[in-house]
Amino acid sequence: MSEQTLTTMDIHQILDYLPHRYPILLVDRVLDVVPGERITALKNVSINEPFFPGHYPHHPVMPGVLIVEAMAQTAAILAFKTMGNKPSANEVYYFVGIDNARFKKPVSPGDQLKIDVTLNATKRGIWKFSAVAKVDGEVATEADLICAVRTTPQ
């Protein structure tokens, strides 16, 4: 099976597509990816996350900005799968915009975020996506994301 036709990804494969590492790597598994169209990924939310001790210790809630970051990381995997390559050492995938972000349900330790991202458009290195993160089938967060792949000097 070629890399292009692979529809699931474990954490080892995800690490090939994202430069992020602990504590900012926020995608645990890819369930399905159709290059040029869509991707579905999981983020398992654990009480051991480094932000929980300071983000409402009496009632831990995953920060919304990190949910959006998990959606952007998922979108990055879709972008590189769509381009048919893995990021090189001098490529950076920037998160450049968020539109229509809505936070509808708190995300707590023990939850599993199911992240669905759809590619809406790409032009001159700018990628536009629609993203939804759900917990137990209920929408927790949704947003339109704008990202860019840029080459950096080494």
Beta bridge partners of residue 33, listed in sequence order: 39
- Give CA torsion, residues 38, 127, 68, 40, to 10 deg: 10
Tokens of 92: 């950076």
**What is the rounded distance in angstroms from the CA atom of residue 81 to the CA atom of residue 14?**
11
Instruction: From the candidates 20, 55, 58, 59, give the one annotated as an active-site residue.
Output: 55
The strand ranges marked E within 3-154 are 29-34, 38-44, 91-103, 112-123, 126-135, 138-151
Length of the chain: 154
**What is the rounded distance in angstroms from the CA atom of residue 33 to the CA atom of residue 117?**
9
- 55 catalytic? Reply is yes
118 Ramachandran zone, left/alpha/beta (phi>0; psi -120 to 50) = beta
Active site members:
55
